[in-house]
Amino acid sequence: MSVHPIESRYGRDEVRAIFEEENRLQRLLDVESALARAHAEVGDIPKGAARVIQEKGSTKHVTVDRVKEIEREINHDLMAMVRAYAEQCGEAGKYIHLGATSSDITDTALALQIRDFVKFLDEDLQKLRDVLLDLAEKHKKTVCIGRTHAQHAVPTTYGLKFAIWADEIQRHIDRIDQCKKRVLVGQMTGAVGTQAALGKHAVRIQNLVMKYLNLTPVRVSNQVIQRDRHAEFLLNIALIGETLNKINTEIRNLQRTEIDEIAEGFKKGKQVGSSTMPHKRNPILCERICGLSRVVRANAFAAMDNIPLWHERDLTNSAPERILIPESCILIDYMLVKTIEILKNLEFKPENIRKNLYMTKGLIMAERIMVELVERGMGRQRAHEVVRRNAMKVYETGKEFLEILKEDKEVRAYMSADELEGLMEPEGYIGTAVEQVERLVRDLKGG
């Protein structure tokens, strides 16, 4: 029976599999096998023994159940794995784990798991970026009201919204790429980092193990790989989560009944929005992603506490990391996949987009009128005051802004009624929004 929702509700099977017990055990065996191979390479153990260890280094031979059985007896999970492995290797088993400490194996195996996961993360981020770029290009001329302080400001475009998000996703792609060199590292340094138990070939052994595993060796370490690396990784994941939170919060706000410009896709026919209100079409996926972002962010904060371990190490990082890293990875992948789904099925409501543009009786064009007055010779501060004064009359009288401007002698001294009417079209006041979108699409698509 499942307990944690990532076992049954949130997460893809192929990503969950990276962190499941059997795959974790396999990665531990991979590291032990690489260590034996390195020892054989430098002449510490017989090559035949290393071959046996490599042949038996599979969960087909060393099972999760047998490791757990031994752990119940000795209360040490890594040593239980070593003993279960040795059972399968006969005489060669005595060479398993030679010169290593538990963290050499577990930390290096964790790097292998993270590397497996990052392939999915890279793919997710690139897909999301491309979906956003497609939306930006498609809607680069879809003019809508821009909002600041949740109030109508001046016109913008949906294309610019999507372009801003796409550029942010690209920064996450860059951050993860930069982070890889710091988190995809392994070690073979022994009890407190001196490599004393590995003997005179210690440095070469570490380098060989990491070469076999395609990881970078740490430059220096104590008993554990330093946890600033893992904290950085989870902080990057949390940053991605907050971007997804931002995107989905905006969609939720724009789906509000009072705004109703776009909406999360709703399956025709049978989808239920509420258990009691049959009319509801709630943005449940967007809300789910926003909620899960809180878990991912909290995990990153907890990872920060794993950095200051006592002396050469203590065990306080171990238990939380068994939760924090798999949970954050599985959830962020799920959140990315669902956000892509939401964006691909996003519903646009052009009639409401246009209705909202004109909701404030033309007030959203106040800045344009001010700028035009300045261009025609009125001082900037005076122009601001003249337009502000007329704008306030809209609130007081309920009249259209254009009507009030036409009645203002100071304004009319600079422009005619026809000119004022021409300046009140929102589509004519989007500045370089289209050009910005086109430039970003070119830059990120390489076209």
Candidates 2, 149, 275, 311; catalytic one: 149
The secondary structure element, H or E, covering residue 83 is helix 77-89
Which listed residue (4, 8, 76, 274) is catalytic? 274
Angle of helix 158-183 relative to helix 102-138, nearest 10 degrees?
160
Structure tokens at 193: 């980092």
Q: How far apart are CA 447 and CA 444, in angstroms?
A: 8
For 54-73, b/e burial (b = at least 16 CB within 10 A) is bebbebeebebebbeebbee
Reply yes or no on whether 149 is catalytic: yes
Q: Where are the alpha helices (DSSP H) in 100-227?
A: 102-138, 158-183, 202-213
Q: How far apart are CA 40 and CA 50, in angstroms?
A: 6
The tokens for 172 are 């996450």
**What is the C-alpha separation between 306 and 172, in angstroms, rounded?**
23
**Annotation says 4 is catalytic:** no
- The answer to whether the CB of 280 falls within 8 A of the CB of 273 is yes
CA distances for 47 relative to 9, 55, 416, angstroms: 47, 12, 94
Q: How many CA atoms lie within 13 A of 73 on its CB side?
A: 10
> Cβ atoms within 10 A of the Cβ of 423, count?
18
Give CA–CA dist 193/225, Å, rounded.
Answer: 9
- 8 A C-beta contact, residue 54 and residue 46: no
Q: DSSP character for 218?
A: P
Q: Are strands 216-217 and 185-186 parallel, antiparallel or unpaired?
A: parallel
d(CA 75, CA 247): 46
* Terminal Cα-to-Cα distance of the chain (whole angstroms): 50
Catalytic residues: 149, 274
